[in-house]
């Protein structure tokens, strides 16, 4: 079972080493059963043990990172695990 996206945001924001978090967005692509969290941070310093921790706890992998003029955009993503309708109607 996957943890909720709010918990993923919490773990990502508290694990990413950055002097200044600017913003984040949650994006879902329902047709493909994918969800992403895009984090924008200033002066981001990559931490491989932190990225491993994020993946282990949330199931979200760092898919892409772009940096320009001290601003980094980090794309984390995972496949959504669908809950069957029988679990929703209980």
The answer to the question of residue 46 being in a domain is yes
| Non-local CB neighbours of 5 within 8 Å, separated by 6+ positions | 26, 35, 37
pLDDT one-digit tens code per residue, 51-90: 999 999 999 999 999 999 989 999 999 998 865 544 444 4
The answer to the question of residue 61 being in a domain is yes
Helices (H), the chain: 5-15, 48-58, 85-88
The answer to the question of residue 9 being in a domain is yes
**Rg, Å, the chain Cα set:** 14
Q: How many domains does the chain have?
A: 1
Residue numbers of the domain that contains 47: 5-82
pLDDT one-digit tens code per residue, 9-68: 999 988 886 667 778 999 999 999 999 999 998 888 888 999 999 999 999 999 999 999
Q: Is the pLDDT of residue 2 over 90?
A: no
The answer to the question of residue 78 being in a domain is yes
CATH number at residue 50: 3.30.1360
Name the phi and psi angles at 5, rounded to 5.
-65, -30
Contact predicate 37/23, CB 8 Å:
no
41 DSSP assignment: E
The answer to the question of residue 77 being in a domain is yes
The answer to the question of residue 89 being in a domain is no
């Amino acid at each position: 079972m996957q943890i909720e996206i709010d918990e993923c945001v919490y773990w990502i924001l508290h694990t990413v080493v950055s002097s200044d978090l600017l913003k984040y967005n949650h994006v879902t692509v329902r047709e493909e059963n994918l969800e992403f969290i895009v984090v924008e941070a200033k002066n981001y310093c990559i931490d491989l043990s932190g990225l491993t921790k994020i993946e282990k706890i949330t199931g979200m992998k760092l898919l892409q990172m772009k940096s320009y003029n001290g601003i980094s955009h980090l794309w984390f993503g995972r496949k959504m695990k669908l809950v069957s309708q029988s679990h929703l109607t209980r």
